[in-house]
């Protein structure tokens, strides 16, 4: 169900416009990651985080990540708390 929504979004007007503005070929498609849900807010031995293969601020090709102890995933990206890296 969720993966179908992601794949379908590739052809919505906003995505098409973005690809045209940035010369991104339609043939590239999009990817979906499916993973088990876990709870990062179960105490000081639980955490949540996000990782990138490039630094999102500089674009430099380096492994980069941020995490929060005793938090849920949205807390990292919403700026509710300051993550560690």
Tokens for 60, please give them. 């430099």
Q: State whether 56 and 22 are in the same domain.
A: no
Q: Are 51 and 65 within 8 A, CB to CB? A: yes
Number of domain units in the chain: 2
Q: How far apart are CA 62 and CA 30, in angstroms?
A: 22
Kindly tell me if the per-residue pLDDT of 77 is higher than 80.
Answer: no
Q: What is the CATH number of the domain that holds 78?
A: 3.30.470.20
Q: State whether 30 and 40 are in the same domain.
A: no
Q: State whether 53 and 80 are in the same domain.
A: yes
pLDDT tens digits, 45-76: 999 988 899 998 999 999 999 999 999 888 88
Tokens for 12, please give them. 């919505």
Q: State whether 40 and 56 are in the same domain.
A: yes
For residue 22, what pLDDT is reported?
96
Residue numbers of the domain that contains 43: 36-85
Q: State whether 28 and 42 are in the same domain.
A: no
pTM of the model: 0.56
Q: State whether 47 and 81 are in the same domain.
A: yes
């Amino acid at each position: 169900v969720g993966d179908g929504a992601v794949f379908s979004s590739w052809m919505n007007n906003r995505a098409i416009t973005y690809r045209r503005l940035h010369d991104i070929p339609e043939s590239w498609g999009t990817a979906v990651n499916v993973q088990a849900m876990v709870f990062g807010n179960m105490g000081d031995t639980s955490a949540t985080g996000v990782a990138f293969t490039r630094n999102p601020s500089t674009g430099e090709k380096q492994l980069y990540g941020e995490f929060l102890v005793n938090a849920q995933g949205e807390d990292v990206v919403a700026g509710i708390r300051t993550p560690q890296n």
